[in-house]
Amino acid sequence: MKTMTRVAGSYRWKTTEVTDRLIKTSKMGLRRSQTLYLFFPLHLLPSSCMALESCLLLLILFLLFVETRTKPKCGEIHLDSQLFPASNLQSWISPSGHFAFGFYPQGNGFAIGIWLIGQPDNTVVWTVNRDDPPVSSNATIHFSEKGELLLRTEKGYEKPIAGDLHVSDSASMLDSGNFVLYSNCNRIWQSFDFPTDTILGGQSLNISHELVSSVSSSNHSSGRFFLAMQEDGNLVAYRRKSANLPSDAYWSSNSFVRLNLSLNHQGLLSMKSYISGPDVLVLANSSYSCENRTTIFRATLDAGGIFTLYSHCFESKISWRVHIEWSALDNQCDVPGFCDLNSYCSGTGTNCECLCYPGFVPNDPDDKFSGCYRNASESFCADSKEGRQYNVTRIENLLFERDPYSAQELEEEKCCSSCLDDCHCDVALYMDAKCEKYTFPIRSIAILCFGIAISTFFVYRDRAFLYEKLSEIISLTGEFTLRSFSYDEIEKATNGFREELGRGSVGAVYKGKINGGHLAPEWQSNAVISVKADIYSFGVVLLEIISCRSSIQADVSTEDEMILSRWAYQCLVAGQLDMLVKDEHIEYESLERMVRIGLCCVQNDPSLRPAIKNVILMLEGSEDIPNPPSLALEIISP
């Protein structure tokens, strides 16, 4: 402790060392290297400073007084603060009142995130643990005394919101929309580093990061599309269920140097150099006049998969006008997969909707993206074989994902007739004087030109026709049973081992054509053959083992049972799998697992069949088995 020096009517007491006891008593927390200057009015000093206890007491009082003046103020949210979803204290609001962090309603509960405050609805721009189920009204957000930001459920379970951070001492909801944790005034975590579907002014999307669309405007779980800032510097949009190959991209920036995506506070959306330098590529630059009012910009990968720059022009604190500054695509229907299987996109611009094909209904009436299924019963004509009833519905300007099993040059009317005469054909696409034939399920891409043959009675017409065709085949070839083939038969089937498909560990594999129900449909349609053809054959064999019968059988009570795969699907849907095993006593849950695996493998569309590693995991019980899609009608030609 240094001596006192009189300075102009007061004493200056300079200290460079403060005892640990004094630090603890004052709660000041000064470092030993700090120098503290205190000025004491003379009339407050004791008559004799030789009384050390009185001087120390006076010093402590002054240290307590100056604590609030010397302690840094970085965040307005202090330790041991809490939020509750069902109270007035459900969010921490930014100083401007434009952004909030806390609980917001989602589904039958609450989610945690950041939103832009407005009327009539807020706009969510960031979500914590977005794929977790909603929490109840009894949950809390707790900024603990240890500096942890935690979600505490009603059952007492705690989950970190901002990672395992134990050193933060304050937090702040900034006017930029960034939620920040501090330690000694240093930012140690911020929401801007972990974007979900949106970036705001002052935020970037760095190399190897991505935006993932939300399910909808009211459900901010991970949706069906993502926008990736790739290592090669290209900003690319994909469907999440794609293989992420260049051919799967539906939009890209076509930039191939190491860049970051950046949005500034003036609405400039650009690709900037990863290290330093000027803007390399400008995607959008705001031109909307807000008449000097507060404007907040956001770039969002919308639920429909289009990357869009928005401006929010505030007319009051919570009232705004929203303007679209720029969109990566002008037409919602240009996004492949916007509408799911067996539905198509109709409309222009952003005013689009997903419609079911004639004879189909939505899988989920509350989810327009969920796709559709046939509204005709699988056993619609189980007791009748008479006639070939059908309707033909024509829809103009619609294009599918193009993987037809047959393509040939025909006139338009003959294309329609060809589909009606073909038991495989569910849809005929006529374009550029070419007739392409498809089976369900199908996914539309865009509005072009085609004709479609489908209706509620389509299954009825196909079933009667299928029965007749099978009867003809069986009369020529006899009963379909498992059998072995002689060398001469195989040599003839492979045209003298003419076309080698590949080699395995035990020999070569040759292309050939034999009569049998184990072959994947692509073998008969001259389509591209892949490993998924073997998956199909495995599925057929698995179903045969389960049911102890061949894949095609004529001596059955109804035509429903003729094709094993379709009969197995009907039994699964009806909850009557015991019909597959007759009088055998088998544990139902295991039986259902095996049937589901088999049906997943025998899908007509190779892309819908699982990979062999997934089949193995499903057989082991290590992977969930999806619900198999409805099977299109099949027929094996002799």
What string of DSSP letters covers 126-157?
A: EESSTTSPPB-TT-EEEE-TTS-EEEE-TTS-
Out of 38-52, 96-110, 389-403, least confident range: 38-52
Q: Is the confidence at residue 381, as pLDDT, over 70?
A: no
Residue 183 to residue 167: CA distance in whole angstroms? 6
Hey, which of 217-221, 317-321, 457-461 has the most confident mean pLDDT?
217-221
Confidence of residue 407 (pLDDT cuts 50, 70, 90): confident
Confidence of residue 3 (pLDDT cuts 50, 70, 90): very low
Q: Is the confidence at residue 252, as pLDDT, over 90?
A: yes
Confidence of residue 300 (pLDDT cuts 50, 70, 90): very high
In the three-class reduction of DSSP (H, G, I as helix; E, B as strand; rest coil), residue 400 is classed as: strand
The string over 310-345, giving b where at least 16 C-beta atoms fall within 10 Å of a residue's C-beta and e elsewhere, is: bbbbbeeeeebeebebbbbbebbbbbbbbbbbbbbb
In the three-class reduction of DSSP (H, G, I as helix; E, B as strand; rest coil), residue 541 is classed as: helix
- pLDDT at 20 (0 to 100): 38
| Helix extents (H) in 382-531 | 412-420, 458-477, 487-493, 521-524
Stretch 479-505: mean pLDDT, rounded?
A: 67
Please, which residues have CB within 8 angstroms of residue 428's CB and are 6 or more apart in sequence?
A: 415, 416, 418, 419, 435, 436, 437, 438, 450, 451, 452, 453
* pLDDT tens per residue across span 580-610: 887 677 788 888 889 999 999 998 888 889 9
Structural domains of the chain in order of their starting residue, each with its CATH number: 4-70 (no CATH), 77-193 (2.90.10.10), 198-329 (2.90.10.10), 343-375+392-454 (3.50.4), 464-480+516-620 (1.10.510.10)
Task: State the Cα angle at 211 between 363 and 76, rounded to 5°.
Answer: 115
pTM, two decimals, is 0.60
Residue 83 to residue 143: CA distance in whole angstroms? 9
- pLDDT at 213 (0 to 100): 96
In 10 A of CB 59, how many CB atoms?
A: 20
In the three-class reduction of DSSP (H, G, I as helix; E, B as strand; rest coil), residue 596 is classed as: helix
Average pLDDT taken over every residue of the chain: 76
- pLDDT at 288 (0 to 100): 72
- pLDDT at 123 (0 to 100): 95
- pLDDT at 58 (0 to 100): 59
Confidence of residue 460 (pLDDT cuts 50, 70, 90): very low
Q: Is the confidence at residue 151, as pLDDT, over 90?
A: yes
Out of 153-167, 308-322, 491-505, least confident range: 491-505
Return the structure tokens found at 140: 């809390």
Residue 184 to residue 168: CA distance in whole angstroms? 8
- pLDDT at 15 (0 to 100): 41
Please, which residues have CB within 8 angstroms of residue 504's CB and are 6 or more apart in sequence?
A: none
Q: With pLDDT > 90 as the criterion, what percentage of the chain qualifies?
A: 29
- pLDDT at 455 (0 to 100): 24
Contact 599, 631 (CB under 8 A): yes
Q: Is the confidence at residue 634, as pLDDT, over 90?
A: no
Which position has the higher pLDDT, 418 or 99?
Answer: 99
Residue 286 to residue 212: CA distance in whole angstroms? 24
Residue 205 to residue 225: CA distance in whole angstroms? 16
Q: Is the confidence at residue 441, as pLDDT, over 50?
A: yes
Residue 222 to residue 211: CA distance in whole angstroms? 10
Confidence of residue 56 (pLDDT cuts 50, 70, 90): low
Q: Is the confidence at residue 210, as pLDDT, over 90?
A: yes
Which amino acid is it at 593? R
Which position has the higher pLDDT, 473 or 431?
Answer: 431
Residue 244: CA count within 13 A, CB half-sphere: 12
Residue 69: CA count within 13 A, CB half-sphere: 7
Q: Is the confidence at residue 553, as pLDDT, over 80?
A: no
Which position has the higher pLDDT, 186 or 558?
Answer: 186
In the three-class reduction of DSSP (H, G, I as helix; E, B as strand; rest coil), residue 202 is classed as: coil
Confidence of residue 47 (pLDDT cuts 50, 70, 90): low
Which position has the higher pLDDT, 518 or 126?
Answer: 126
Question: Cβ-count burial of 608 within 10 angstroms (0-12 exposed, 13-18 middle, 19+ buried)?
Answer: middle
In the three-class reduction of DSSP (H, G, I as helix; E, B as strand; rest coil), residue 542 is classed as: helix
Q: With pLDDT > 70 as the criterion, what percentage of the chain qualifies?
A: 72
Out of 257-271, 470-484, 547-561, least confident range: 470-484
Tokens 């505490």 sit on residue: 152
- pLDDT at 111 (0 to 100): 95
Confidence of residue 2 (pLDDT cuts 50, 70, 90): very low
Q: How far is CA 520 from CA 49, 251, 571, in A?
A: 102, 34, 22
DSSP string, 39-79: EEEGGGS-S-TT-HHHHHHHHHHHHHHHHHHHS----SEET
- pLDDT at 100 (0 to 100): 96
* pLDDT tens per residue across span 27-36: 333 333 344 4
- pLDDT at 399 (0 to 100): 63
Beta bridge pairs of residue 211: 227
The string over 415-448, giving b where at least 16 C-beta atoms fall within 10 Å of a residue's C-beta and e elsewhere, is: bbbbbbebbbbbbbbbbeeebbbbbbbbbbbbbe
Stretch 177-198: mean pLDDT, rounded?
A: 95
Tokens 């909603």 sit on residue: 134
φ and ψ at residue 545, rounded to 5 degrees: -65, -40
Q: Is the confidence at residue 68, as pLDDT, over 70?
A: no
* pLDDT tens per residue across span 71-120: 445 889 999 999 999 888 899 999 999 999 999 999 889 999 999 998 77
Stretch 541-568: mean pLDDT, rounded?
A: 83
Return the structure tokens found at 459: 């299954």
Out of 223-232, 535-544, 621-630, least confident range: 621-630
Residue 82 to residue 410: CA distance in whole angstroms? 71
φ and ψ at residue 568, rounded to 5 degrees: -60, -40
Residue 258 to residue 620: CA distance in whole angstroms? 43
What is the CA 598 to chain-centroid distance, rounded? 27
- pLDDT at 244 (0 to 100): 82
Q: How far is CA 270 from CA 193, 234, 275, 284, 521, in A?
A: 18, 12, 15, 7, 48
Stretch 159-186: mean pLDDT, rounded?
A: 89
Out of 435-439, 547-551, 632-636, least confident range: 632-636
Under DSSP, the state recorded for 630 is: P
- Helices and strands (H, E) in the chain, number of each type: 10, 38
- pLDDT at 456 (0 to 100): 22
Hey, which of 51-65, 219-233, 430-444, 455-469 has the most confident mean pLDDT?
219-233
Stretch 367-396: mean pLDDT, rounded?
A: 57
Among 384, 451, 365, residue whose Cα is nearest residue 411: 451
φ and ψ at residue 11, rounded to 5 degrees: -105, 135
